[in-house]
Amino acid sequence: MTVLILTCEEDVTADMVVVHLHASGVPVVRLDPADLTTGVSLSGEYVHGRFRGHLSAGGRLVSIGGLRSVWVRRPGVPAGRAAQPSPWLTEEAAQALYGMLRGSDARWMNHPDAARQARHKPWQLRLAQRCGLPVPATVITTFPRAAREFAERFPDLVVKPVSGAHPQDPPRAVPTSRVAPDTDFTAVAFGPTLLQRRIAKRADIRLTVVGERLLAARKAADTGAEPVEVDVRFAPPGAPWEPVDVPPRIAESVRTYLREAGLAYGAFDFAEDADGTWWFLECNQSGQFGFVEVETEQPIARTVAEWLARPVPEETVEADRTPTTAC
């Protein structure tokens, strides 16, 4: 059975995983939905209560029923490179491709619905709380008074976007920034604002979870002067990322988090404070792992490949094909 990877052409991280899949002899088909109607074709037939579907990419034909897993890595906009692209064609191509794949028995890393849900930061914070992870005090509000009262209770705050990257082209990451003590919160009324107690961190933690496997890395913060930049993505390079053990309670909590979220892959960011507590900042369901793997030599790509290559258990196949008594 085949592993399907949905990604664009230039994707070094996907290349790393493909190397491991090739080495283990697992068939792989890699395609970019942007090539639908040009280099990529699809066909699915529903006759006499059965479905038979195929994808064709780069001259290779793969049966949808023969997919063991789908890795949604960095797929392009469906039919985005068609001769005459249009929102209508994209919608038709997206529904056709993902509609057929959703009806398959393949395992997803990550399922599109789980991925979509996982992008909601307010939902992330609530789930993290429920799973017992330490979450810095946070408010998300359009009430200036709520922001002011929160700032009185927690004077050392950062502000960050609710939704992540700014949707310009190309998308722009919005840095997390410190809030000055005399900030006027009147403008909060014009857009939801996320304020969070700043964790005085002695390290950043990146915990990559692949299925049940946990791979954590730690990057010590600059000691000495108060850091100007709180967002590790924008900080000058300092200490390297180094492998670190995961505290057992955190391990249990993040496994529960991923299970509840329906995710097979998640990259957790924590801030480690002076007491050694790991404070949950976010879980990125499509977080990069190449930079961590390069610095720590942790086998993340290989672990992803192993998860994707895992054979479908007999019983699961049967159960999935007949999901309920009546089906």
Choice between 14 and 36, CB closer to a second copy: 36
| Nearest distance, CB of residue 56 and a second copy, angstroms | 8
Choice between 176 and 253, CB closer to a second copy: 253
| Nearest distance, CB of residue 156 and a second copy, angstroms | 15
Cite the DSSP H helix spans in the chain.
12-23, 87-102, 112-118, 121-130, 144-153, 248-261, 290-296, 300-309, 314-321
| Nearest distance, CB of residue 317 and a second copy, angstroms | 14
Neighbours of 263 (CB within 10 A): 21
| Nearest distance, CB of residue 50 and a second copy, angstroms | 7
| Nearest distance, CB of residue 313 and a second copy, angstroms | 19
**Alpha-carbon separation of residue 127 from 8, 117, 283 (angstroms):** 31, 11, 10
Choice between 162 and 239, CB closer to a second copy: 162
Choice between 8 and 94, CB closer to a second copy: 94
| Nearest distance, CB of residue 305 and a second copy, angstroms | 28
Residue 8, judged by CB atoms within 10 A of its CB (0-12, 13-18, 19+), counts as middle
| Nearest distance, CB of residue 193 and a second copy, angstroms | 9
Helix/strand/coil for 284: strand
| Nearest distance, CB of residue 178 and a second copy, angstroms | 19
> How far is residue 35's CA from residue 13's CA, in Å, rounded to a whole number?
20
The set of residues, in sequence order, having a beta carbon less than 8 Å from that of 81 and lying 6+ positions away, is 32, 34, 35, 38
| Nearest distance, CB of residue 299 and a second copy, angstroms | 26
- Strand-pairing partners, residue 20, are none
- Read off φ and ψ for residue 188, nearest 5 degrees: -55, -30
Choice between 50 and 224, CB closer to a second copy: 50
Choice between 284 and 298, CB closer to a second copy: 284
Choice between 88 and 181, CB closer to a second copy: 88
| Residues 211/198, Cβ–Cβ less than 8 Å | no
Query: Among 285, 265, 257, 264, which residue's Cα sits nearest to residue 118?
Result: 285
Choice between 22 and 126, CB closer to a second copy: 126
The DSSP code sequence of 108-135 is EET-HHHHHHHT-HHHHHHHHHHTT---
Helix/strand/coil for 241: coil
Choice between 48 and 313, CB closer to a second copy: 48
Neighbours of 46 (CB within 10 A): 10
> How far is residue 160's CA from residue 125's CA, in Å, rounded to a whole number?
14
